[in-house]
Structure 1
Amino acid sequence: MVIGIDGPELRAFTQAAAQALDQKPAQTMLTSGIHAAYQEGEARLAAIEGVEPVAHGLDATGPTQACAALFVTDAAVFLKKPELEDEVFGPASTIVRCKDERELLAVAEHFAGQLTATIAMDRDDVQLAKKLVPILERKAGRLLVNGFPTGVEVCHAMVHGGPFPATADSRVTSVGSTSIDRFLRPVCYQDFPAELLPQALADDNPLGLWRRRDGQIVNA
């Protein structure tokens, strides 16, 4: 989804995006099921009253190839049509035109959970961005400025998750050092004799692990 305040800049962006997509070759999707779901989702978008198709990529030349698609609608339509928020996994986007700043913030508040949210801005947009950020912090797991949410780097700072329905549990991530929390279940061993403890908890630490003892990080 692309959301912006209507005006010459957004209309120039829409025109440029449409021209680029019109020449975009179709790309092969991973499975026939994913391809079929994409085609169904694109057809649903095109059938919604108040949604205008503005661009379509070059025709497919092989099986399971998806053609890029671009749609435009207004904020008033978006706020009334919950089906516009349904994910269409594939090369389709919808541009939502807002009349003013107030409507833009209303659309941002309306969104359900997302993996990412990007603010495209320059210095003149700082004050509006300050109003958007507190909303987006509650809506998405990763916030970007003037970037694209690809290239999910596996690092300590990465979060690839977000509020439902982006992920089932927004407290954990599927990428990054804290993703281990997603795949572990804690077990407490209380009053265990030493011979019954797992190696990772043995008093002499045979595995040489960094561990927390009485709140302190130690490796002995």
Structure 2
Amino acid sequence: MTFTPEEQRLLGQSCHGDPRLAQWLLAMLGLGPGEYGFSARSGFFTEEEVPLYERVWRQIWHQGTVYPATLVAVPVWCEMIGRFPQLYHGELYVLLALIECSRTAGNTCPVPLEVSAAVTRKYKQALAGLAQTLPTQLALADDSTPDGLGHVQAMLTLLAFGHGQAYAAHLCWGAQIINADLSLTPPLRDYEARSGRTALSDQLKARRRGGP
């Protein structure tokens, strides 16, 4: 795999601008992500001890913000999942869901992201292609634990995003969709306002009034 000149330029527009981002991404295609869950470990580690997955995500997603480099890195991650189907990638699915939620909500730097239509199309196609990996990954998920349930939730969210159903994806990802009075929770109301969707709110209001 090689990056186009535009992709090379965009990889330089990451959270911390590390010039080794392209090198780490290409290495993941051959070596895999390394240890998932490493960020929960404490102590001092040399860079060589930090998994490639950790090195990359620190560059492309930070406190809910995505960068131009993110749209180049995500397709590589999606390809890596396909190359290592025997590994369980639950943690990565969660991060991919968070990234796409941030992107569609406009939490980007800069706003809007300055990338070509070709880069955006490749990014969206990569998310859509994840649907092929979900059956195997769902079979590996342990839905009897909170983390496992979160992984399944992320997979369903990505499936919706991959089919172009961003509104449904945000509903899937929301830990709580409605309040006790059948009104949408604040995060979903905010998303509705940004996306121009009001049908669900109207239906909930009708139910509260005793409608069908």
TM-score with structure 2 setting the length: 0.32
Give 1 or 2: higher strand fraction.
1
